[in-house]
């Protein structure tokens, strides 16, 4: 009989911290910079605050779910991967200068997507 692997808690928890930070930090410490980036992407002024708040709320919810029993659901990791992919594609095409940013914000999404795929796959095996 094949022994089931246990996913170390630090994997979903580290993603939870990342999601919580990415949800809280823009609104609390960099709202004007965040709004400027949304303007650069092409969002009209009337939609910038609602979009910033909605995306921050989504990130916070994802973060909290990483610490809950929902972390056992493959759908959580699929939803997070879809969100990271969407954010990345929007930034890659609307703000191509981010590819050359010294902190590599787009490239860092590749290992995040790999981890999300791993967690989704492992969650599906446990069913």
pLDDT digits (tens, 9 = 90+) for 61-75: 999 999 999 999 999
- What residue segments make up the domains of the chain, in order of their start? 10-125
Cα–Cα distance, 38 to 107 (Å, whole number): 20
pLDDT category at 2 given cuts 50, 70, 90 is low
Average pLDDT (105-121) is: 97
User: In this structure, are residues 39 and 53 in contact, taking their beta carbons and an 8 Å threshold?
Assistant: no
Alpha-carbon span 25 to 40, nearest angstrom = 19
* pLDDT at residue 1 tops 70: no
Tokens, residue 33 = 């910079």
Task: Estimate to the nearest angstrom the gap between the alpha carbon of 121 and the chain centroid.
Answer: 18
pLDDT at residue 6 in the model: 82
Three-state secondary-structure class, residue 42: coil
Q: Within the chain, what is the greatest distance between any pair of CA atoms?
A: 59
**Overall average pLDDT of the 86-97 stretch:** 97
Cβ neighbours, 10 Å, residue 33:
10
Q: Is the pTM of this model over 0.85?
A: yes
For the chain, the average pLDDT equals: 95
pLDDT at 95 over 80: yes
State the pLDDT at residue 124: 75
Instruction: Give me 42's structure tokens.
Output: 């092409």
E-state strands within the chain:
none
């Amino acid at each position: 009989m094949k022994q089931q692997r246990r996913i170390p808690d630090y994997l979903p928890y580290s993603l939870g911290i990342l999601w919580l930070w990415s949800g809280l930090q823009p609104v609390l410490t960099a709202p004007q910079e965040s709004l400027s980036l949304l303007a650069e992407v092409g969002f009209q002024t009337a939609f910038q605050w609602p979009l910033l708040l909605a995306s921050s709320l989504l990130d916070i919810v994802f973060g909290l779910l990483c610490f809950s029993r929902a972390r056992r659901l493959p759908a959580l990791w699929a939803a997070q991967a879809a969100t990271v992919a969407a954010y990345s594609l929007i930034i890659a095409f609307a703000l191509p200068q981010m590819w050359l940013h010294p902190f590599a914000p787009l490239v860092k999404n590749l290992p995040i997507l790999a981890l999300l795929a791993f967690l989704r796959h492992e969650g599906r095996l446990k069913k």
